[in-house]
Structure 1
Amino acid sequence: MSKGKVLVGMSGGVDSTVTAILLQKEGYEIEGVYMKLHHKPGYHEENYAKAQRVGEYLGIKVNFYDLSEAFNKEVYEYFVESYKEGLTPNPCVMCNRTIKFGKMVEFADTVGAEYVATGHYLKCDGEFIYAADDLNKDQSYFLCEVKKEVLPRLLFPLGSWQKDDVKAFASDIEVLNDLATQKESSEICFVENSYDEVLAKHMDIDIPGETVDTEGNVVGTHKGYMHYTIGKRRGFFVNGAHDPHFVLAIKPEENQIVVGTREKLEENAFEVKQINLFEDLTEFDCDVKVRYRTKAVPCHVKIEGDRATVELQEPVFGLAKGQIAAFYNGDRLLGGGVIC
């Protein structure tokens, strides 16, 4: 007897392929969906063909779902507009909220699927999200803005696997050999080399401006504010500087960047907006990650209205407006918000 029907997001890669295989072995009825998210010549044709080949191997249907219009509006435009405003966005977090665990869940309803699964490395028990066993691959951070009501429908079989074991598992299946050795996908799917190449398609990002210190004094020049993120150390000029200088703030209206020495990057408190929590909390102690590849640090969070104040027990460096703060209790994800 089937354990239920699962719609599996299939990219043509190793992780989503192994996800589908594992769930089928567990006794679920599987249907796949390949989601077209952006316009990259030849990209979708090649990967959809791989996903179809996996579907033939498993004897399942793999749908082609064109979400490029929704992705452009909800993720791509958000990415571009954020940099225009001097912010540092996280498009993967927004994609997970609105597309992969938004539109994909809606599509699951149309094919009668009770559950939705992807090849993300994390765990979900239907009520909460937890970090993966493979902490080097853990992607729980990127799901901190997913809507609470979809959690009971999410399955992540790779949460208890190590990446090397997933590759080894795939390599033992002859029809999937080329998948097991293919290159890892980039973190942001529509960025091939650097984010400023994307921005340059939409605006002139090479407009030289002033580099100023924290008192507003002009101390040098830069090549255009959209080339910089908080904490960046190179690519601008500071008159007579002996110590390394870092970007402390970005002023898009003035086309200025504010720079200073590393100790001035230190922050002990900040605010977040667009708060999304998986349980009802108004004031609590937890750990917070202010970027994906950073250590979680202890903090105290107090929510008032639509914003929260985060008081850190140890300082963080390079805090960037627009980035995501994810809150944890041990390995359990509590939710998150946008740093403002």
Structure 2
Amino acid sequence: MNKKKKVAVGLSGGVDSGTTAMILQEKGFTVVGVTMRLFDHQDKEIESARLVADTLGIEHHVVDFRDEFEDVVIKYFKETYEKGKTPNPCLKCNKFFKYGKLMDFCKSIGSDFFATGHYARKIYDEKTDTYKLLKAISSRKDQSYNLFQLSQEDLKYLIFPIGEFNSKEEVRKKALTKLNIVSKKSDSTGICFIEHKKLGRYLKEVNSSSVKEGNFVDKEGNILGTHKGLAYYTIGQKRKLGENLSFNYVVTKIDSEKNEIILGSEKDLITTKLVLKDTNFINPNIVLPFDSDIKVSQWSEVYRGKVLEKDGDIVIEFYDPVRAPAPGQAAVFYIGDEVIGGGFIK
């Protein structure tokens, strides 16, 4: 790479993004820091990102996307729970903001590349003239699942330095050389835009119907008890169903129209087929059908299956039964370490 190239780094104020900026600066890039303001309670993170930029002596931009984030991510989050599904706001944010509006901003200020602290890798395949998205070296920290919506044009512009590290501890050790200020910061957890991190409380604050009480019923419609609200439950859940229900039953379906949670047994959760929507293939040379390793959530076990097209839909047919895939989550396809693509579970 041309050492005089300009790279914009998405700075969150944490150790991964700060170390990303430091590494690229050491490689001779002209580094610029960019931080998204997505909600009001971000002052500490933005101040930390600014401190990283000042320590490295780089330019720093804060881009305010609060109104758009409210309209796109928060609205989707609330409505998905109200439909009885399980949202993944990180996937929505990555597509529309981090690798969407923020990346566009980076191009507008003349950046040749955009880098983030995501644990993933990319390579260029000269034989096929395509970019490939790969799992991170550290399987424990791998975040490639969250990036299945990227395109070839996106990958051309992206750099993922942290994906080459063996562990988070190794990243922290690297940060110590220049960024002691963030080297010991703990990983952020929970949903970033919920300041108090309490899902039910937040959904009540935004007047969501997903926290309205309703009935637990069996497959025949017989009432078994009262649930606290659709948002408190997910397919496959056995715990916190209430006295005499927990562990005797499992959540098998969520009916948003009737505001009912259907309870059943483990055998009701088993499936060998999924239908997807909004499917994206990163590798443009892939030919359907193909065999693949498949993850049905960020931390799910890996399943084997065939990805094919049927009646206009992308469908997965699994070789072994899969337990409790949740509508609203994504199923992501891998061949070896390469992310082929993925789609949202209908």
Q: Structure 1 length as normaliser, TM-score? A: 0.93
Give ranges in structure 1 of 5+ residues lacking alignment.
Answer: none
Tell me which residue corresponds to 1:177: 180
The Cα shift of 1:13 comes to 1.0
Alignment partners' CA distance in 1, 2:190 and 2:94: 13
The Cα shift of 1:221 comes to 2.4
Q: Kindly report which structure 2 residues correspond to 1:73-112, keeping only aligned pairs within 5 A, or say none.
A: 73-112=71-110
Secondary structure of the 2:237 match is coil
The Cα shift of 1:86 comes to 0.6
The Cα shift of 1:19 comes to 0.1
Aligned length: 334
The Cα shift of 1:304 comes to 4.1
The Cα shift of 1:28 comes to 1.2
Note if 1:140 corresponds to 2:144: yes
Alignment partners' CA distance in 2, 1:264 and 1:25: 55
Whether the 8 Å CA contact 1:225–1:250 is kept in 2: the answer is: yes
Whether the 8 Å CA contact 1:131–1:331 is kept in 2: the answer is: yes
Whether the 8 Å CA contact 2:238–2:246 is kept in 1: the answer is: no
The Cα shift of 1:241 comes to 5.7
Tell me which residue corresponds to 1:151: 155
Whether the 8 Å CA contact 1:275–1:307 is kept in 2: the answer is: no
Give ranges in structure 2 of 5+ residues lacking alignment.
Answer: 125-130
Whether the 8 Å CA contact 2:213–2:228 is kept in 1: the answer is: yes
Deviation by residue 1:103-155 (Cα, 9 ceiling, x = unmatched): 11110111100110000101012512110011111000001122332110010
Name the amino acid aligned to 1:334: I
Please say which of residues 97-106 and 123-132 is displaced more in the overlay: 123-132
Alignment partners' CA distance in 2, 1:242 and 1:81: 27
- Percent identity at matched positions? 36
Alignment partners' CA distance in 2, 1:10 and 1:103: 15
Tell me which residue corresponds to 1:309: 315
1:332 to 326, 334, 338: 338
The Cα shift of 1:205 comes to 4.5
Name the amino acid aligned to 2:13: G
With over 3 angstroms needed to count, the CA separation of the structure-2 counterparts of 1:306 and 1:3, relative to structure 1, is farther
Q: Kindly report which structure 2 residues correspond to 1:124-273, keeping only aligned pairs within 5 A, or say none.
A: 124-125=122-123, 127-161=131-165, 162-173=167-178, 176-191=179-194, 192-203=196-207, 205-237=210-242, 244-273=248-277
Alignment partners' CA distance in 2, 1:85 and 1:251: 8
2:296 to 290, 293, 314: 290
Alignment partners' CA distance in 2, 1:235 and 1:266: 21
Whether the 8 Å CA contact 1:125–1:152 is kept in 2: the answer is: no
Tell me which residue corresponds to 2:127: none
The Cα shift of 1:196 comes to 2.3
Please say which of residues 253-262 and 222-231 is displaced more in the overlay: 222-231
2:65 to 61, 67, 70: 67
Please say which of residues 273-282 and 215-224 is displaced more in the overlay: 215-224
1:320 to 315, 319, 326: 326
